Amino acid sequence: MASNNMYFKFLHLAQAVQKLPSFPEIDSVEERLLNVCASVWFSDMKISVTEIANMLPGTSERTSHRRIKSLLAKNMIILKNDDNDKRVKYIMPTQLADKYFKKMEDCLQLACR
């Protein structure tokens, strides 16, 4: 049961971070989208707008595209054109997204203490 307590402690801390005025409010689909992107970025890979739209089970492609636009407006991601094919756009993190993930990492470390 102690491991459950760590998980709930992490959830509580993460919710507090998400309410900080230094970060924009993000909904559950945006959070999932960021988390999928982060796992790709962590592997030093790129993820395109088309790829991410197909990686969120239970979420339509249209909803994914709307959330990408929303995260762009919130300065959490940027789009970078492929060097060889200008039709392909890659989702990249901003400094704000990096700070957000660092705060989440801090929450995880605190929860594990």
* Structural domains of the chain, with CATH: 25-103 (1.10.10.10)
Contact (CB, 8 A) for 97 and 104: no
Residue-wise pLDDT tens for the chain (113 aa)?
555 789 999 999 999 988 889 889 999 999 999 999 999 999 999 999 999 988 888 889 899 999 999 999 999 999 999 999 999 999 999 999 999 999 999 999 999 98
Is this structure's pTM higher than 0.75?
yes
> CA geometry: angle at 64 spanning 9 and 60, to 5°?
105
Neighbours of 6 (CB within 10 A): 14
